[in-house]
Amino acid sequence: MTIALSEKLKIVNDHIDEADPPIHVIPLANKLGIEVYKADWPHSVSGKIQYDPELGGQSGFAIFVNAAHPETRRRFTIAHEIAHFILHEDQIGDGLFDDAMYRSGLSSFEEDDANKLAADILMPRQLIREFSFVGDDVETLAHQFNVSQSAMARRLGVAW
């Protein structure tokens, strides 16, 4: 079952519209027909997305995430792999392995796009506006959205 890009983005936007922070990324993957698994890997590997008729969800795809990484990191990895599914499904081939720097063999341009969409998923600007209060600092917002403080600082465009 292949879903059109517009349909995938609608699923993401509907998920975000219904959400209070933090955004739950595994249910979002499931809505896109993807199953998510933890994997025992060295720290140098972040995650993988692959076509897997056995372990994959309705879409046929499965995401694997490094079980040893902290939760905020795992959430970013899952969002990044979801982004590859949305933007680069036709290039996943036998599987995309993202190292610790989120390099998978795709171009750095495509990895940047995946990182940007991952940030849009985890830290929607609309929700940040809605759920932050004057004086909220990076630490508070990072906690609220369950992301790393450095990711939130980048999102807000403040030095960290």
Segment 70 to 99, residues that bind Zn ion, using CB under 5 A: 98
Q: How many residues bind Zn ion (CB under 5 A)?
A: 5
Binder to Zn ion among 50, 66, 77, 104 (CB under 5 A)? 104
Task: Return the bridge partners of 35, or none.
Answer: 62
The reply on whether position 66 binds Zn ion by CB under 5 A is no
Residue with Cβ nearer Zn ion (49 or 142): 49
Based on the shown chain and the rule CB under 5 A, indicate whether residue 102 belongs to the binding site for Zn ion. yes
**According to the binding rule CB under 5 A, does residue 35 interact with Zn ion?**
no
Strand 34-39 and strand 96-99: pairing?
Answer: unpaired
When the beta carbons of 74 and 156 are compared against Zn ion, the nearer one is 74
CB of 6 to Zn ion, least distance (A): 22
Dihedral angle, C-alpha 107, 111, 113, 118, nearest 10 °: 170
Q: Which stretch binds Zn ion (CB under 5 A): 12-20, 48-56, 67-75, 103-111?
A: 103-111
What 3-state DSSP class applies to 160? coil
Cβ–Cβ < 8 Å for 146, 71: yes
Question: In one letter, which amino acid is 105?
Answer: G
In DSSP notation, 25-47 reads: HHHHHHHTTEEEEEE---TTEEE
Q: What residues make contact with Zn ion under the rule CB under 5 A?
A: 98, 102, 104, 111, 114
